[in-house]
Amino acid sequence: MLSLSPLTQRIAGKGAGAWGVHFTALERRAAGAEIILLTVGDPDQAGPKPVIDATVAALRAGQTGYSGIVGLPELRKAVAERVERRTGTPTTMENVTIVPGTQAGLYCTLQLIAGPGDEVIVPEPMYATYEAVTGATGARLVNVPLLSERGFHPDIDAIARAITPATKAIWITSPHNPTGAVMTRAEVEGVAELCRVHDLWLVSDEVYEDLAYAGPHVSPRTLPGMAERTIVVSSLSKSHALPGFRTGWVIAPAALGPHFFNLILCLLYGGPPFTQAGALVALTRDLPEVTAIRADYQRRAGMMSALLGTAPQARVIPPEGGMFVMLDVRGTGLSAEGFARRLLDSEAVAVLPCDGFGPSAAGHLRISLTEPDPVLREAGERIVRFCRSLNR
């Protein structure tokens, strides 16, 4: 093969291989096996009907052309109004860039604020793509452990010790993926203070903000002196069960707007106008479906945590938000990958080993709550049965 760009190496890594069990399960399901798939955060609920109706209407009305590089103005305005209403922080459409989902928003953000020689601090476990997103910029990812014994809540002093003259940004996620931890106000304030003192960017992945149920979600954008150094990324994927819409947004200081424009101009040339028409309805109406989705995950988290709490040689970490439950299987003597493979073989339940999420997640499984209650209950019972077979 002819030589390739160094980028191909920077976007590879352990995180890129985190989905092995998932892909094996998909192959078996395609071959006809009945597999309970609890590996990815793909909501099982239908998207809100008014949003779907508006999207279809936009398609039928011929809204299939270009939408504007950084999004439809009316959608950007709606996002700004929503953010200002929730945070109390003045926000205009000049602060808003529409992107194809949180993942693309994070990629664009890191491209604009970090580069070779820079360091980006990310507490780990972390979502599996963070490593590659940082690597794509040429910057170095610096991990700070989130310990299972602390409920995966951050140690602010440990983050402070990780800061060097090369540090460019701290990147947080709350509610957290994969652990489900929701940062307290004091923890968010602690990170914000580090960013102010050391003149750093704070990147906040808030895609699960509407799924915080053990405590309120706190955005660093609400804190004094943080609007000018905070970049918030979110989307409709989780809150409205619309991951296929690939409709998200970045909230950033207005001075970054032209740079987002230039990057998206050469990368995407804007997003689909018909999904943005649906997103406009999602963000401007009070939709009972959104409340129901949140209630689903809170109820499922309680049910699954209670079930898994009976599994011998395993320890469940009940989530405070999001759509996953973490299970510590180190007591079984198996690695997370080994446990997940054997569980798939013997019980036809697919869960995600968390080794690709960082060293602090080794020996843990991420179990998605994106199936109806009866299916989740059956899966939980199979996992407990498997743990008991290992115990024997």
Instruction: Write phi, then psi, for 183 (nearest 5 degrees).
Output: -65, 135
Taking only the tens place, the pLDDT of each residue in 276-320 is 999 999 999 999 999 999 999 999 999 999 999 999 999 999 999
Mean pLDDT along residues 27-39 = 96
pLDDT > 90? residue 355 = no
So what's the pLDDT on residue 220?
A: 97
Indicate the range of 43-47, 121-125, 236-240, 356-360 predicted with least confidence: 356-360
Mean pLDDT along residues 345-351 = 97
Contacts of 64 (CB under 8 A, 6+ apart): 272, 273, 274
> Helix H segments across 164-287?
185-198, 257-267, 273-284
So what's the pLDDT on residue 14?
A: 66
- The helix/strand/coil state of 295 is helix
So what's the pLDDT on residue 16?
A: 56
Domains of the chain: 7-46+289-391 (3.90.1150.10), 65-284 (3.40.640.10)
Longest dimension (CA), the chain: 63
Between residues 148 and 263, the one the model is more confident about: 263
So what's the pLDDT on residue 13?
A: 67
Contacts of 306 (CB under 8 A, 6+ apart): none
Mean pLDDT along residues 367-374 = 96
Amino acid making up residue 178: P
Mean pLDDT along residues 242-265 = 97
Taking only the tens place, the pLDDT of each residue in 52-109 is 999 999 999 999 999 899 999 999 999 999 999 999 999 999 999 999 999 999 999 9
pLDDT > 70? residue 216 = yes
**Is the CB of residue 296 less than 8 Å from the CB of residue 306?**
no
pLDDT > 80? residue 1 = no
Q: Bin 90: left if φ > 0, else alpha if -120 < ψ < 50, else beta.
A: beta
pLDDT > 70? residue 356 = yes
Mean pLDDT along residues 185-192 = 98
pLDDT > 70? residue 12 = yes
pLDDT > 80? residue 323 = yes
CA distances from 86 to 126, 161, 299 (A): 26, 32, 25
Taking only the tens place, the pLDDT of each residue in 97-118 is 999 999 999 999 999 999 999 9
Between residues 144 and 17, the one the model is more confident about: 144
Retrieve residue 44's tokens: 């099982």
Q: Could you give the CA distance from residue 392 to residue 382 in angstroms, rounded to a whole number?
A: 15
pLDDT band at 167 (very low <50, low <70, confident <90, very high): very high
Share of the chain above pLDDT 70, in %: 98
CA dihedral in degrees (213, 298, 295, 96; nearest 10)? 50
Mean pLDDT along residues 353-373 = 93
**Is the CB of residue 381 less than 8 Å from the CB of residue 347?**
no
Q: Could you give the CA distance from residue 148 to residue 176 in angstroms, rounded to a whole number?
A: 13
CA distances from 174 to 153, 199, 218, 220, 314 (A): 10, 22, 8, 10, 25
Instruction: Write phi, then psi, for 3 (nearest 5 degrees).
Output: -65, 150
Q: Could you give the CA distance from residue 140 to residue 268 in angstroms, rounded to a whole number?
A: 26
Q: pLDDT averaged over the chain?
A: 95
**Is the CB of residue 171 less than 8 Å from the CB of residue 121?**
yes
pLDDT band at 15 (very low <50, low <70, confident <90, very high): low
